[in-house]
Structure 1
Amino acid sequence: MKILTVSDFIESCLYKDFDSELFKDIEVILSCGDLSPEYLSFISSRINAPLYYVKGNHDIRYIDKAPNGCIDIDSKLIRFKKLKIAGFEGSRWYNGNPIQYTESQMKKKIMKMWPRLWWNRGVDIVITHAPPRYIGDAEDPCHRGFKSFHPLIDRFSPQYFIHGHIHARFNKPSERIRIVKNTRVINTVGYFILEIDEK
């Protein structure tokens, strides 16, 4: 299965210079935040695949104008074919605007999901805006990751933990990926195409 993941940067090959050949056979799209609702609506319509998203700390516009035809999965566990996918929006609290969370607030969000994850025997993919703490994050207040993501990874061992928020450019796809126990943590800033075997 081919999965397109996006966040933070508008990529011309996905917008004004849309390249259908590059994105053929994409079955589902996952957005990790800080992208305009118009961009997400465009991608979903041109690729003709379901798009699931979490909001980033700059996605305040979504409150009044959510992306057309796209599904917010913050604090939810959904199924796409055989995949179980969960999402958590937002960044660390740094100036009091919406879609920011303290460490304790994020921990509460995760703990509310814990029974659902346990009942469904875990999760295959977690999408977030912020990364786990110390896994490719930064030290300024806005870009620190969440420590509370680590117990989620430790307990449920998702195959993939996909985030945005940390702006970086990568020379090759492997530079985006960090291994944490049995989980591949992927920074999807811009876009990334993930190919996985269906169980």
Structure 2
Amino acid sequence: MKILHLSDTHGQHNRLKGLPEADVIVHSGDFTFGGSEREVLDFLNWFCDLPYKYKIFIAGNHDDCLWNSEIDGLPNNCYGLRYSSVNIEGVKFHGIPMFVQDCVSGLNNTAIRNISLDTDILITHCPPFEILDFDDNIHYGSKELLTAVERIRPHYHLFGHIHSNNGVEEGGFTTFVNSAIVNEIYGDLQPWHLIEI
């Protein structure tokens, strides 16, 4: 199974040309810039029309209009994961969004601690601590997430959030992928990543 991973397009998804063939496309959040419903609809219209067999997305911290909201009317092959999983052709994807309200209330950390051990591909917006998370002399990643990944050992952990750390890092059991598309000044586009499981 080939999986195309994107993150942090911030309303610039229409600039993406020549996306490669894959079975699944995954967007790990921050598809909007200002978090408006109009931006969400624009992204979803684009995303749902892409020629991929399966499509998965989660919300990032910029996509806060989706907090406490349900998205109705998605095609059968498109999944918005919110502390939930989907099994696609024997591969289990689990998605953890990043809403500021959930981070403050502790819901985000509770959900991270409850990720199922049979998760094959973990999708979060935030990176784990000290893995593709460094910017402005600070590690912005989550220690709770790092602990969870070490416990679960998914094949892949897909995320974004830290625009200056687009890249791939091999771990002992898990490959970590940061596919933040727009750079740290929201100008140039950075690479997407194609993985295979």
Q: TM-score, normalised by structure 2?
A: 0.74
CA contact (8 A) 1:32 1:128 kept: yes
Q: Which of 75, 79, 86 in structure 2 is aligned with 1:71?
A: 79
Corresponding position: 1:15 with 2:14? yes
CA contact (8 A) 2:94 2:119 kept: yes
CA contact (8 A) 2:113 2:148 kept: no
Q: Which of 161, 168, 175 in structure 1 is aligned with 2:164?
A: 168
1:133, distance to aligned residue in structure 2 (A): 1.2
Q: Aligned with 1:168: secondary structure?
A: helix
The alignment covers a number of residue pairs equal to 175
Over the aligned positions, Cα root-mean-square deviation in angstroms equals 3.0
Q: Where in structure 1 are there 5+ consecutive unaligned residues?
A: 92-96, 171-175
Q: Aligned with 2:109: secondary structure?
A: helix
Instruction: Tell me how far apart the structure 2 counterparts of residues 32 and 17 of structure 1 sit (CA, whole Å).
Output: 16
Counterpart position of 2:113: 111
CA contact (8 A) 1:143 1:166 kept: no
CA contact (8 A) 2:135 2:162 kept: no
Residue by residue over 1:5-38, the C-alpha shift from the partner in whole angstroms, topping out at 9 and shown as x without a partner, is 11112697x625643xx433x2111111010322
1:72, distance to aligned residue in structure 2 (A): 1.8
Counterpart position of 2:43: 39
Corresponding position: 1:189 with 2:185? no
Q: Relative to structure 1, is the Cα distance of residues 30 and 145 closer, same or farther in structure 2, using a 3 angstrom cutoff?
A: same
CA contact (8 A) 2:122 2:154 kept: yes
Q: Relative to structure 1, is the Cα distance of residues 83 and 109 closer, same or farther in structure 2, using a 3 angstrom cutoff?
A: same
Instruction: Tell me how far apart the structure 2 counterparts of residues 5 and 131 of structure 1 sit (CA, whole Å).
Output: 14
| One-letter identity of the residue aligned with 2:83 | S
Counterpart position of 2:187: none
Q: Aligned with 1:79: secondary structure?
A: strand
Q: Where in structure 2 are there 5+ consecutive unaligned residues?
A: 33-39, 182-190
| One-letter identity of the residue aligned with 1:58 | H
